[in-house]
Chains A and B, each alone.
Chain A
Amino acid sequence: MRLFDKPAHVLHDMLVNKEITATELTKDVIARIDEVEGDVMAYLTQTREAALAQAAAVDEKIAGGKVISFLEGIPGAVKDNICTKGIKTTCASKILENFVPPYDATVIEKINAAKPVILGKTNMDEFAMGGSTENSAYHLTHNPWNTDCVPGGSSGGSAAAVAAGTAIWAIGSDTGGSIRQPASFCGVVGMKPTYGRVSRYGLVAFASSLDQIGPLARDVTDCANILNIIAGHDAQDSTSIDASVPDYTKALVADIKGLKIGLPREYFVKGMDADVEKAVRTAVKQMESLGAEIVEISLPHTEYAISTYYLIAPAEAATNLERYDGVSYGERVDGADIVEMMTNTRSRKFGKEVKRRIMIGNYALSAGYYDAYYLKSLRVRTLIKQDFDKAFEKVDAIVAPTAPTPAFKIGEMVSDPLKMYLQDVCTVPLNLAGLPGISLPCGFSNKHMPIGLQIIGKPLGEETILRAAYTYEQSQGFYKEMAELGGKKA
Chain B
Amino acid sequence: MKYEAVIGLEIHSELKTKTKIFCGCATTFGAEQNTHVCPVCLGLPGVLPVINKRVVEFAIRAGLALNCTINKFSKFDRKNYYYPDLPKNFQTSQYDLPIAEKGYVDIDVDGQKKRIRITRIHMEEDAGKLVHSGNTIKDSATSNVDYNRTGVPLIEIVSEPDMATPQEARVYMEKVKSILEYIDVSNCRMEEGNLRADLNVSLRPVGTTALGTKAEMKNINSFKAVEDALAYEIQRQQEVLEDGGHLVQETRTWDPDKGITLSMRTKEAAHDYRYMPEPDLVPIVTTDEEIAAYRKALPELPDARRQRLETEDGLSSYDAGIITGSRELAEYFDAAIVDGADAKLTANWMMGDLAKNLNAEGKTIQDSPVDAKRLGQMIMLISKGTISSKIAKKVFVEMWTSPDAPEKIVKDKGLVQITDTKAIEGIVDAVIAANPKPVADYKGGNTKAIGALVGQVMKQSKGKANPGVVNQLLKAKLDT
Contact = CB atoms under 8 A, between A and B. Distances in A.
A and B associate: yes
Interface of A: 81-83, 89, 91, 96, 99, 101-103, 105, 200-205, 207-209, 235-239, 315-316, 318-319, 322-323, 325, 327-329, 337-339, 342, 362, 365-367, 370, 374
Interface string B38-49: 010011111111
Contacts of B49: 238
Interface string B47-66: 11111000000000000000
A315 B279 CA distance: 11
A367 B267 CA distance: 14
B274 interface: yes
Chain A interface helix/strand/loop/mixed: loop
B80 A91 contact: no
A96 B45 CA distance: 9
Interface in B187-216: none
B46 A322 contact: no
A238 B45 contact: no
Contacts of B73: none
Contacts of A205: 45-46, 280
7 cross-chain pairs, A with B, having the tightest CB-CB distances, nearest first? A322-B89, A208-B279, A365-B274, A209-B279, A204-B45, A202-B46, A83-B46
Interface of B: 39, 42-51, 78, 80, 82, 84, 87-90, 137-138, 143, 145, 147, 272, 274-276, 279-282
A89 B276 contact: no
Given A237-B50, A323-B45, A325-B82, 5 more contacts: A209-B279, A235-B50, A236-B48, A323-B89, A325-B84
Nearest to A93: B45
A92 to B, nearest CB: 13
A322 B90 contact: yes
A362 B276 CA distance: 10
Given A208-B280, A338-B137, A322 B80 contact: yes
Contacts of B279: 207-209, 239, 316
A338 B282 contact: no
Contacts of A208: 279-280
Contacts of B50: 235-238
Nearest to B78: A319
Contacts of A102: 39, 44
5 contacts: A81-B46, A89-B46, A236-B50, A329-B44, A367-B272
B46 A105 contact: yes
B46 A323 contact: no
Interface centre among B45, B82, B84, B274 (most CB of A within 10 A): B45
A323 B80 CA distance: 10
B75 to A, nearest CB: 12
Contact of A327 (B44, B78, B145): B145
Nearest to A83: B46
Contacts of A96: 45
Nearest to B50: A238
A237 B48 contact: yes
A322 B80 CA distance: 8
Contacts of B137: 338
Contacts of B275: 365, 370
Given A238-B282, A316-B279, A325-B82, A99 B46 contact: no
A101 B40 CA distance: 12
Contact of B45 (A101, A200, A209): A101
A201 B84 contact: no
Contacts of B143: 338
Contacts of A374: 276
Chain B interface helix/strand/loop/mixed: loop
Contacts of B282: 238-239
Contact of B87 (A204, A235, A323): A323
Contacts of A366: 272, 274
A78 B448 CA distance: 101
B87 A327 contact: yes
Contacts of B272: 366-367
A463 B280 CA distance: 27
A91 B279 CA distance: 21
Contacts of B147: 328
Nearest to A312: B279
Contacts of B51: 238
A338 B141 CA distance: 11
A237 B48 CA distance: 6
B45 A322 contact: no
Contact of B48 (A101, A207, A238, A337): A238
Contacts of A82: 46
B256 to A, nearest CB: 26
Contact of B44 (A101, A236, A338, A342): A101
A320 to B, nearest CB: 9
A201 B145 contact: no
Contacts of A200: 48
B19 to A, nearest CB: 14
A365 B45 contact: no
Nearest to B84: A327
Nearest to A321: B89
Nearest to A322: B89
A319 B145 contact: no
A70 B274 CA distance: 47
A204 B89 CA distance: 16
Contacts of B276: 315-316, 319, 365, 374
Interface centre among B50, B89, B145, B279 (most CB of A within 10 A): B279
B70 to A, nearest CB: 21
A44 to B, nearest CB: 15
Given A319-B80, A319-B276, A325 B89 contact: yes
B44 A103 contact: yes
A315 B45 CA distance: 17
Interface centre among A203, A235, A322 (most CB of B within 10 A): A322
Contacts of B145: 327-328
B88 A323 contact: yes
Contacts of B280: 205, 208, 238-239
A25 B276 CA distance: 49
Given A323-B88, A366-B272, A328 B45 contact: no
Nearest to B81: A322
Contacts of A239: 48, 279-282
B39 A103 contact: yes
Nearest to A202: B46
A327 B42 CA distance: 11
Contacts of B88: 322-323
B128 to A, nearest CB: 9
B165 to A, nearest CB: 34
Contacts of B281: 238-239
Contacts of A101: 39, 44-46
